[in-house]
Structure 1
Protein backbone atom coordinates (compact mmCIF):
# COMPACT_ATOMS: atom_id res chain seq x y z
CA UNK A 1 0.00 0.00 0.00
CA UNK A 2 1.57 3.35 -1.00
CA UNK A 3 2.01 5.96 1.70
CA UNK A 4 -0.84 8.43 2.01
CA UNK A 5 -0.03 11.80 0.50
CA UNK A 6 2.58 10.38 -1.85
CA UNK A 7 0.91 12.11 -4.80
CA UNK A 8 1.54 15.48 -3.20
CA UNK A 9 5.01 14.70 -1.89
CA UNK A 10 3.77 15.06 1.69
CA UNK A 11 4.98 12.61 4.34
CA UNK A 12 2.20 11.40 6.64
CA UNK A 13 3.52 10.77 10.16
CA UNK A 14 0.97 8.92 12.33
CA UNK A 15 0.63 10.12 15.93
CA UNK A 16 0.25 8.30 19.23
CA UNK A 17 -0.51 10.35 22.37
CA UNK A 18 0.36 8.34 25.49
CA UNK A 19 -0.99 8.86 28.97
CA UNK A 20 -0.73 6.37 31.84
CA UNK A 21 0.07 3.53 29.46
CA UNK A 22 -2.85 4.09 27.09
CA UNK A 23 -3.37 6.03 23.88
CA UNK A 24 -5.64 9.04 24.35
CA UNK A 25 -7.59 11.15 21.87
CA UNK A 26 -6.07 14.63 21.64
CA UNK A 27 -8.32 17.65 21.12
CA UNK A 28 -7.36 21.32 21.03
CA UNK A 29 -4.32 20.79 23.23
CA UNK A 30 -6.54 20.57 26.35
CA UNK A 31 -4.59 17.70 27.86
CA UNK A 32 -6.60 17.49 31.08
CA UNK A 33 -9.61 16.45 28.96
CA UNK A 34 -7.95 13.74 26.85
CA UNK A 35 -9.68 10.35 27.15
CA UNK A 36 -8.57 6.82 26.15
CA UNK A 37 -9.09 6.50 22.44
CA UNK A 38 -11.95 4.63 20.80
CA UNK A 39 -11.07 3.91 17.19
CA UNK A 40 -11.98 1.44 14.44
CA UNK A 41 -8.25 0.93 13.92
CA UNK A 42 -7.74 -0.92 17.22
CA UNK A 43 -9.69 -3.07 19.66
CA UNK A 44 -8.24 -1.19 22.63
CA UNK A 45 -6.22 1.92 23.55
CA UNK A 46 -3.10 -0.23 23.93
CA UNK A 47 -0.17 1.65 22.35
CA UNK A 48 1.10 -1.22 20.20
CA UNK A 49 -2.39 -2.10 18.94
CA UNK A 50 -3.21 1.51 18.07
CA UNK A 51 0.15 2.05 16.38
CA UNK A 52 -0.34 -1.11 14.33
CA UNK A 53 -3.74 0.15 13.18
CA UNK A 54 -2.36 3.55 12.23
CA UNK A 55 0.59 2.11 10.34
CA UNK A 56 -1.71 -0.31 8.48
CA UNK A 57 -3.69 2.58 6.95
CA UNK A 58 -0.77 5.03 6.74
CA UNK A 59 2.52 3.17 6.25
CA UNK A 60 5.35 5.40 7.37
CA UNK A 61 9.03 5.32 8.27
CA UNK A 62 8.22 7.48 11.31
CA UNK A 63 5.76 7.41 14.20
CA UNK A 64 5.38 10.48 16.42
CA UNK A 65 4.82 9.67 20.09
CA UNK A 66 3.85 12.29 22.66
CA UNK A 67 4.67 10.92 26.11
CA UNK A 68 2.26 13.14 28.00
CA UNK A 69 3.38 11.77 31.36
CA UNK A 70 6.88 13.01 30.59
CA UNK A 71 5.71 16.32 29.14
CA UNK A 72 3.52 16.99 32.19
CA UNK A 73 6.21 15.97 34.71
CA UNK A 74 4.76 12.68 35.98
CA UNK A 75 7.72 10.57 34.87
CA UNK A 76 8.38 9.16 31.42
CA UNK A 77 6.54 6.09 30.12
CA UNK A 78 9.68 4.21 29.14
CA UNK A 79 7.86 0.85 29.24
CA UNK A 80 5.37 1.88 26.53
CA UNK A 81 8.10 3.53 24.45
CA UNK A 82 10.20 0.38 24.62
CA UNK A 83 7.23 -1.76 23.59
CA UNK A 84 6.63 0.45 20.56
CA UNK A 85 10.30 0.45 19.55
CA UNK A 86 10.42 -3.35 19.83
CA UNK A 87 7.15 -3.93 17.97
CA UNK A 88 8.08 -1.71 15.00
CA UNK A 89 11.84 -2.02 14.44
CA UNK A 90 11.63 -0.61 10.90
CA UNK A 91 9.89 2.56 12.12
CA UNK A 92 11.75 5.42 13.79
CA UNK A 93 9.88 6.81 16.77
CA UNK A 94 9.87 10.60 17.10
CA UNK A 95 9.44 11.00 20.85
CA UNK A 96 8.47 14.15 22.74
CA UNK A 97 8.82 13.34 26.43
CA UNK A 98 9.34 16.83 27.80
CA UNK A 99 13.13 16.59 27.77
CA UNK A 100 14.81 19.92 28.45
CA UNK A 101 18.36 19.29 29.74
CA UNK A 102 21.49 17.79 28.23
CA UNK A 103 21.63 15.12 30.95
CA UNK A 104 18.07 14.03 30.19
CA UNK A 105 18.76 14.07 26.45
CA UNK A 106 21.92 11.97 26.80
CA UNK A 107 20.11 9.43 28.98
CA UNK A 108 17.29 9.23 26.44
CA UNK A 109 19.64 8.82 23.47
CA UNK A 110 21.55 6.07 25.29
CA UNK A 111 18.36 4.00 25.43
CA UNK A 112 18.10 3.89 21.64
CA UNK A 113 14.32 4.22 21.59
CA UNK A 114 14.11 6.67 18.69
CA UNK A 115 14.65 10.27 17.63
CA UNK A 116 14.27 12.87 20.35
CA UNK A 117 11.73 15.65 19.81
CA UNK A 118 12.49 18.89 21.62
CA UNK A 119 9.23 20.69 22.30
CA UNK A 120 9.77 24.43 22.58
CA UNK A 121 7.20 24.55 25.41
CA UNK A 122 9.55 22.40 27.53
CA UNK A 123 12.76 24.36 26.92
CA UNK A 124 14.25 26.98 29.26
CA UNK A 125 16.52 28.43 26.56
CA UNK A 126 17.99 27.55 23.18
CA UNK A 127 21.00 25.59 24.48
CA UNK A 128 19.72 22.06 23.88
CA UNK A 129 18.47 22.87 20.39
CA UNK A 130 21.91 24.24 19.53
CA UNK A 131 23.76 21.32 21.17
CA UNK A 132 21.83 18.47 19.56
CA UNK A 133 21.36 19.89 16.08
CA UNK A 134 20.09 17.27 13.61
CA UNK A 135 20.16 14.53 16.26
CA UNK A 136 16.81 15.95 17.40
CA UNK A 137 13.55 17.10 15.84
CA UNK A 138 12.42 20.56 16.96
CA UNK A 139 8.76 21.21 17.71
CA UNK A 140 7.76 24.88 17.61
CA UNK A 141 4.69 24.91 19.84
CA UNK A 142 1.83 27.39 19.48
CA UNK A 143 -1.30 27.88 21.60
CA UNK A 144 -3.74 30.05 19.70
CA UNK A 145 -1.70 32.84 18.17
CA UNK A 146 0.98 32.62 20.84
CA UNK A 147 4.28 30.82 20.51
CA UNK A 148 5.18 28.85 23.64
CA UNK A 149 8.85 28.63 24.50
CA UNK A 150 12.08 30.64 24.56
CA UNK A 151 11.91 33.47 22.04
CA UNK A 152 15.45 32.85 20.84
CA UNK A 153 14.48 29.44 19.39
CA UNK A 154 11.74 30.88 17.22
CA UNK A 155 13.73 33.99 16.33
CA UNK A 156 16.88 32.16 15.24
CA UNK A 157 16.06 29.87 12.30
CA UNK A 158 19.77 29.25 11.77
CA UNK A 159 19.78 26.92 14.82
CA UNK A 160 16.80 24.86 13.66
CA UNK A 161 17.61 21.23 12.87
CA UNK A 162 16.81 19.49 9.60
CA UNK A 163 13.29 18.56 10.75
CA UNK A 164 10.99 21.09 12.43
CA UNK A 165 7.40 20.46 13.53
CA UNK A 166 5.01 23.40 13.63
CA UNK A 167 2.63 22.30 16.39
CA UNK A 168 -0.62 24.27 16.40
CA UNK A 169 -2.14 22.86 19.58
CA UNK A 170 -5.52 24.59 19.31
CA UNK A 171 -6.14 22.81 16.00
CA UNK A 172 -5.17 19.32 17.17
CA UNK A 173 -8.09 16.93 16.72
CA UNK A 174 -10.45 19.72 15.65
CA UNK A 175 -10.49 19.26 11.87
CA UNK A 176 -10.34 22.99 11.17
CA UNK A 177 -7.51 22.71 8.67
CA UNK A 178 -3.78 23.39 9.11
CA UNK A 179 -2.56 26.90 9.91
CA UNK A 180 -1.39 27.60 6.35
CA UNK A 181 -0.53 31.24 7.00
CA UNK A 182 1.84 30.45 9.88
CA UNK A 183 3.34 27.50 8.01
CA UNK A 184 4.02 29.61 4.91
CA UNK A 185 5.65 32.31 7.04
CA UNK A 186 7.91 29.84 8.86
CA UNK A 187 8.78 28.10 5.59
CA UNK A 188 10.05 31.43 4.25
CA UNK A 189 12.21 31.86 7.36
CA UNK A 190 13.58 28.32 7.47
CA UNK A 191 17.16 27.74 6.37
CA UNK A 192 17.94 25.80 3.22
CA UNK A 193 17.48 22.08 3.76
CA UNK A 194 15.08 22.46 6.70
CA UNK A 195 11.97 20.28 6.35
CA UNK A 196 8.79 21.60 7.99
CA UNK A 197 6.12 19.25 9.35
CA UNK A 198 2.65 20.59 10.14
CA UNK A 199 0.73 19.33 13.17
CA UNK A 200 -2.91 20.00 13.93
CA UNK A 201 -6.10 20.38 11.95
CA UNK A 202 -5.73 18.16 8.88
CA UNK A 203 -9.11 17.47 7.26
CA UNK A 204 -8.51 15.57 4.03
CA UNK A 205 -6.36 15.27 0.92
CA UNK A 206 -7.16 18.81 -0.17
CA UNK A 207 -5.20 20.04 2.82
CA UNK A 208 -2.27 17.88 1.73
CA UNK A 209 -2.28 19.62 -1.65
CA UNK A 210 -2.35 23.04 0.04
CA UNK A 211 0.57 22.08 2.29
CA UNK A 212 2.59 20.87 -0.68
CA UNK A 213 1.95 24.13 -2.49
CA UNK A 214 3.62 26.17 0.27
CA UNK A 215 6.56 23.78 0.59
CA UNK A 216 5.69 21.80 3.73
CA UNK A 217 7.39 18.38 3.74
CA UNK A 218 5.05 16.42 5.99
CA UNK A 219 2.27 16.42 8.54
CA UNK A 220 1.57 14.69 11.84
CA UNK A 221 -1.86 13.02 11.72
CA UNK A 222 -4.09 11.18 14.18
CA UNK A 223 -7.78 12.15 14.04
CA UNK A 224 -8.08 12.14 10.23
CA UNK A 225 -6.78 8.55 10.22
CA UNK A 226 -8.97 7.34 13.10
CA UNK A 227 -12.03 8.98 11.53
CA UNK A 228 -11.32 7.64 8.04
CA UNK A 229 -10.99 11.05 6.39
CA UNK A 230 -7.71 10.01 4.75
Structure 2
Protein backbone atom coordinates (compact mmCIF):
# COMPACT_ATOMS: atom_id res chain seq x y z
CA UNK A 1 0.00 0.00 0.00
CA UNK A 2 1.09 3.58 -0.71
CA UNK A 3 0.61 5.14 2.70
CA UNK A 4 1.04 8.69 1.35
CA UNK A 5 -1.94 8.40 -0.96
CA UNK A 6 -3.95 5.80 0.94
CA UNK A 7 -4.08 3.40 -2.03
CA UNK A 8 -5.50 0.88 -2.54
CA UNK A 9 -8.81 2.23 -1.38
CA UNK A 10 -10.35 5.65 -1.48
CA UNK A 11 -8.62 8.53 0.33
CA UNK A 12 -10.71 11.18 2.02
CA UNK A 13 -8.40 14.13 2.64
CA UNK A 14 -9.61 16.82 5.07
CA UNK A 15 -8.70 20.39 4.12
CA UNK A 16 -7.48 23.38 6.11
CA UNK A 17 -7.32 26.86 4.54
CA UNK A 18 -4.94 29.17 6.41
CA UNK A 19 -5.08 32.97 6.39
CA UNK A 20 -3.20 35.21 8.83
CA UNK A 21 -2.35 32.26 11.05
CA UNK A 22 -5.94 31.06 11.45
CA UNK A 23 -8.15 28.53 9.67
CA UNK A 24 -10.78 30.14 7.45
CA UNK A 25 -13.97 28.79 5.85
CA UNK A 26 -13.69 28.45 2.07
CA UNK A 27 -16.65 29.44 -0.10
CA UNK A 28 -16.64 29.18 -3.92
CA UNK A 29 -13.00 30.22 -4.17
CA UNK A 30 -13.88 33.83 -3.22
CA UNK A 31 -10.84 34.18 -1.02
CA UNK A 32 -11.28 37.84 -0.12
CA UNK A 33 -14.45 36.94 1.76
CA UNK A 34 -13.12 33.95 3.70
CA UNK A 35 -13.71 34.44 7.44
CA UNK A 36 -12.26 32.61 10.43
CA UNK A 37 -13.92 29.25 10.71
CA UNK A 38 -16.60 28.45 13.24
CA UNK A 39 -16.91 24.70 13.57
CA UNK A 40 -18.27 22.21 16.09
CA UNK A 41 -15.05 20.26 15.61
CA UNK A 42 -12.87 22.77 17.49
CA UNK A 43 -12.90 25.69 19.89
CA UNK A 44 -11.67 28.63 17.86
CA UNK A 45 -9.80 28.71 14.57
CA UNK A 46 -6.23 27.90 15.61
CA UNK A 47 -4.65 25.55 13.04
CA UNK A 48 -3.70 22.86 15.55
CA UNK A 49 -7.15 22.81 17.15
CA UNK A 50 -8.99 22.56 13.84
CA UNK A 51 -6.56 19.94 12.55
CA UNK A 52 -7.10 17.85 15.66
CA UNK A 53 -10.86 18.20 15.25
CA UNK A 54 -10.69 17.05 11.64
CA UNK A 55 -8.55 14.06 12.56
CA UNK A 56 -11.03 13.15 15.29
CA UNK A 57 -13.91 13.51 12.82
CA UNK A 58 -12.32 11.32 10.14
CA UNK A 59 -9.58 8.62 10.19
CA UNK A 60 -7.42 10.62 7.81
CA UNK A 61 -3.99 9.57 6.58
CA UNK A 62 -3.47 12.89 4.75
CA UNK A 63 -4.40 16.50 5.47
CA UNK A 64 -4.37 19.12 2.72
CA UNK A 65 -3.30 22.62 3.75
CA UNK A 66 -3.77 25.69 1.56
CA UNK A 67 -1.59 28.55 2.81
CA UNK A 68 -3.55 31.48 1.38
CA UNK A 69 -1.03 34.10 2.52
CA UNK A 70 1.58 32.31 0.43
CA UNK A 71 -0.76 31.75 -2.53
CA UNK A 72 -2.28 35.24 -2.64
CA UNK A 73 0.42 37.49 -1.19
CA UNK A 74 3.50 35.40 -2.08
CA UNK A 75 4.46 35.22 1.59
CA UNK A 76 6.80 32.43 2.77
CA UNK A 77 5.08 29.21 3.87
CA UNK A 78 3.67 29.44 7.39
CA UNK A 79 6.03 26.88 8.89
CA UNK A 80 4.82 27.57 12.45
CA UNK A 81 1.22 26.72 11.54
CA UNK A 82 2.30 23.66 9.55
CA UNK A 83 4.41 22.44 12.47
CA UNK A 84 1.46 22.88 14.85
CA UNK A 85 -0.80 20.93 12.47
CA UNK A 86 1.73 18.12 12.15
CA UNK A 87 2.08 17.87 15.92
CA UNK A 88 -1.70 17.86 16.40
CA UNK A 89 -2.11 14.89 14.04
CA UNK A 90 0.96 12.68 14.45
CA UNK A 91 1.42 10.11 11.72
CA UNK A 92 -0.77 12.02 9.26
CA UNK A 93 0.94 13.25 6.08
CA UNK A 94 0.51 16.84 4.90
CA UNK A 95 -0.02 18.00 1.34
CA UNK A 96 0.77 21.72 1.29
CA UNK A 97 -0.09 24.34 -1.34
CA UNK A 98 1.93 27.42 -0.49
CA UNK A 99 1.94 29.05 -3.90
CA UNK A 100 5.07 27.19 -4.99
CA UNK A 101 6.24 28.61 -8.31
CA UNK A 102 9.97 27.96 -8.56
CA UNK A 103 12.23 24.95 -8.03
CA UNK A 104 14.20 26.61 -5.23
CA UNK A 105 11.10 27.22 -3.14
CA UNK A 106 9.94 23.64 -3.59
CA UNK A 107 13.37 22.24 -2.79
CA UNK A 108 13.57 24.40 0.34
CA UNK A 109 10.16 23.21 1.51
CA UNK A 110 11.08 19.58 0.98
CA UNK A 111 13.99 20.01 3.40
CA UNK A 112 11.57 20.98 6.21
CA UNK A 113 10.06 17.51 6.34
CA UNK A 114 6.64 19.07 6.85
CA UNK A 115 4.98 17.35 3.91
CA UNK A 116 4.67 17.14 0.17
CA UNK A 117 4.41 20.34 -1.83
CA UNK A 118 1.29 20.83 -3.93
CA UNK A 119 2.10 22.71 -7.13
CA UNK A 120 -0.99 24.70 -8.04
CA UNK A 121 -1.41 25.50 -11.72
CA UNK A 122 -2.76 28.95 -10.81
CA UNK A 123 0.66 29.88 -9.40
CA UNK A 124 2.72 28.69 -12.37
CA UNK A 125 4.54 30.43 -15.18
CA UNK A 126 6.59 27.33 -16.05
CA UNK A 127 4.44 24.42 -17.17
CA UNK A 128 7.39 22.06 -16.80
CA UNK A 129 7.91 22.65 -13.08
CA UNK A 130 5.70 19.82 -11.69
CA UNK A 131 7.41 17.13 -13.74
CA UNK A 132 10.80 18.16 -12.32
CA UNK A 133 9.81 16.85 -8.90
CA UNK A 134 7.99 13.67 -9.95
CA UNK A 135 6.35 11.82 -7.09
CA UNK A 136 7.78 14.16 -4.46
CA UNK A 137 5.12 16.74 -5.37
CA UNK A 138 1.41 16.74 -6.19
CA UNK A 139 -0.07 18.79 -9.02
CA UNK A 140 -3.28 20.77 -8.55
CA UNK A 141 -5.04 21.60 -11.82
CA UNK A 142 -6.96 24.71 -10.77
CA UNK A 143 -10.15 25.89 -12.45
CA UNK A 144 -12.77 28.50 -11.65
CA UNK A 145 -15.91 27.74 -13.60
CA UNK A 146 -14.89 27.39 -17.24
CA UNK A 147 -11.61 29.23 -16.65
CA UNK A 148 -8.48 27.11 -16.47
CA UNK A 149 -5.95 28.80 -14.19
CA UNK A 150 -2.27 28.79 -15.10
CA UNK A 151 -0.47 27.67 -18.27
CA UNK A 152 -2.70 26.03 -20.86
CA UNK A 153 0.01 23.44 -21.56
CA UNK A 154 -0.18 22.24 -17.98
CA UNK A 155 -3.88 21.50 -18.39
CA UNK A 156 -3.54 20.07 -21.91
CA UNK A 157 -0.47 17.82 -21.68
CA UNK A 158 -0.67 14.87 -19.24
CA UNK A 159 3.01 14.13 -19.84
CA UNK A 160 3.69 17.17 -17.64
CA UNK A 161 1.72 15.71 -14.73
CA UNK A 162 3.28 13.89 -11.75
CA UNK A 163 1.73 10.60 -10.55
CA UNK A 164 -0.86 12.32 -8.34
CA UNK A 165 -3.11 15.10 -9.58
CA UNK A 166 -5.83 17.13 -7.83
CA UNK A 167 -8.69 18.50 -9.92
CA UNK A 168 -9.35 21.71 -7.98
CA UNK A 169 -12.71 23.21 -8.95
CA UNK A 170 -12.56 26.43 -6.95
CA UNK A 171 -16.08 27.65 -7.75
CA UNK A 172 -17.53 24.49 -6.19
CA UNK A 173 -15.52 24.67 -2.96
CA UNK A 174 -17.95 25.03 -0.08
CA UNK A 175 -20.84 25.45 -2.52
CA UNK A 176 -22.63 22.16 -1.78
CA UNK A 177 -23.20 21.54 -5.47
CA UNK A 178 -21.57 18.14 -5.79
CA UNK A 179 -18.35 17.18 -7.59
CA UNK A 180 -18.03 17.71 -11.36
CA UNK A 181 -18.06 14.05 -12.38
CA UNK A 182 -18.01 14.80 -16.11
CA UNK A 183 -14.88 16.95 -15.87
CA UNK A 184 -13.19 14.36 -13.69
CA UNK A 185 -14.02 11.60 -16.17
CA UNK A 186 -12.50 13.67 -18.99
CA UNK A 187 -9.26 14.16 -17.06
CA UNK A 188 -9.14 10.53 -16.08
CA UNK A 189 -9.61 9.37 -19.68
CA UNK A 190 -6.61 11.46 -20.76
CA UNK A 191 -4.30 10.13 -18.06
CA UNK A 192 -5.55 6.76 -16.76
CA UNK A 193 -2.17 6.02 -15.19
CA UNK A 194 -2.41 9.00 -12.83
CA UNK A 195 -4.14 9.00 -9.45
CA UNK A 196 -6.80 11.69 -9.64
CA UNK A 197 -8.23 13.44 -6.58
CA UNK A 198 -11.42 15.52 -6.62
CA UNK A 199 -11.56 18.86 -4.81
CA UNK A 200 -14.71 20.92 -4.51
CA UNK A 201 -18.38 20.13 -4.04
CA UNK A 202 -18.41 16.97 -1.92
CA UNK A 203 -21.61 17.00 0.14
CA UNK A 204 -21.51 13.65 1.90
CA UNK A 205 -21.02 9.90 1.57
CA UNK A 206 -23.13 9.53 -1.58
CA UNK A 207 -20.78 11.85 -3.48
CA UNK A 208 -17.78 9.92 -2.19
CA UNK A 209 -19.31 6.63 -3.29
CA UNK A 210 -19.95 8.08 -6.75
CA UNK A 211 -16.35 9.25 -7.01
CA UNK A 212 -15.01 5.90 -5.86
CA UNK A 213 -17.24 4.08 -8.37
CA UNK A 214 -15.86 6.34 -11.11
CA UNK A 215 -12.31 5.26 -10.26
CA UNK A 216 -11.23 8.50 -8.59
CA UNK A 217 -8.44 7.92 -6.06
CA UNK A 218 -9.79 10.23 -3.39
CA UNK A 219 -11.41 13.53 -2.51
CA UNK A 220 -10.51 16.69 -0.63
CA UNK A 221 -13.25 17.54 1.88
CA UNK A 222 -13.91 20.30 4.38
CA UNK A 223 -17.49 21.61 4.56
CA UNK A 224 -19.07 18.15 4.78
CA UNK A 225 -16.98 17.38 7.86
CA UNK A 226 -17.61 20.72 9.56
CA UNK A 227 -21.34 20.57 8.75
CA UNK A 228 -21.70 16.96 9.91
CA UNK A 229 -22.98 15.59 6.59
CA UNK A 230 -19.94 13.29 6.52
CA UNK A 231 -19.25 11.34 9.70
CA UNK A 232 -16.52 9.06 10.95
CA UNK A 233 -19.03 6.21 10.84
CA UNK A 234 -19.12 6.59 7.04
CA UNK A 235 -15.43 5.69 6.77
CA UNK A 236 -15.92 1.94 7.08
CA UNK A 237 -18.11 1.87 3.99
CA UNK A 238 -15.47 3.73 1.99
CA UNK A 239 -12.45 1.75 3.15
> What per-residue deviation string (whole Å, max 9, x for no partner) do you get for residues 102-148 of structure 1?
11111111111101000000010222112111110000000001110
Cα distance in 1 for residues equivalent to 2:9 and 2:61: 14
Alignment check: 8 A CA contact 1:10 1:217 kept: yes
Q: TM-score, normalised by structure 2?
A: 0.90
- Find the counterpart in structure 1 of residue 52 from structure 2: 52
Structure 1 ranges of 4+ moved more than 6 A: none
Secondary structure of the residue aligned to 1:51 is helix
- Deviates further, 51-60 or 84-93: 84-93
- Find the counterpart in structure 1 of residue 40 from structure 2: 40
Give 1:74 deviation, angstroms. 4.7
- Residues 1:30 and 2:16 aligned together: no
- Find the counterpart in structure 1 of residue 101 from structure 2: 100
- Deviates further, 62-71 or 80-89: 80-89
Matches within 5 A, 1:125-164: 125-164=126-165
Secondary structure of the residue aligned to 2:28 is coil
Secondary structure of the residue aligned to 2:73 is coil
Give 1:153 deviation, angstroms. 1.1
Cα distance in 1 for residues equivalent to 2:35 and 2:104: 32
Alignment check: 8 A CA contact 2:27 2:173 kept: yes
Cα distance in 2 for residues equivalent to 1:165 and 1:74: 21
Secondary structure of the residue aligned to 2:131 is helix
Give 1:18 deviation, angstroms. 0.3
Cα distance in 2 for residues equivalent to 1:136 and 1:165: 11
Matches within 5 A, 1:199-210: 199-210=199-210
RMSD (Å) for aligned C-alpha atoms: 1.5
Cα distance in 2 for residues equivalent to 1:191 and 1:158: 12
> Residues 156, 74 of structure 1: CA spacing in aligned structure 2 closer, same or farther, 3 A cutoff?
closer
Cα distance in 1 for residues equivalent to 2:226 and 2:141: 25
Alignment check: 8 A CA contact 1:157 1:191 kept: no
Cα distance in 2 for residues equivalent to 1:55 and 1:139: 23
Alignment check: 8 A CA contact 1:26 1:34 kept: yes
Q: Which runs of 5+ in 1 are unaligned?
A: 1-5
Q: Which runs of 5+ in 2 are unaligned?
A: 1-5, 231-239
Give 1:204 deviation, angstroms. 1.5
Matches within 5 A, 1:79-228: 79-192=80-193, 194-228=194-228
Alignment check: 8 A CA contact 1:158 1:191 kept: no
Q: How many residues align?
A: 223
- Find the counterpart in structure 1 of residue 237 from structure 2: none
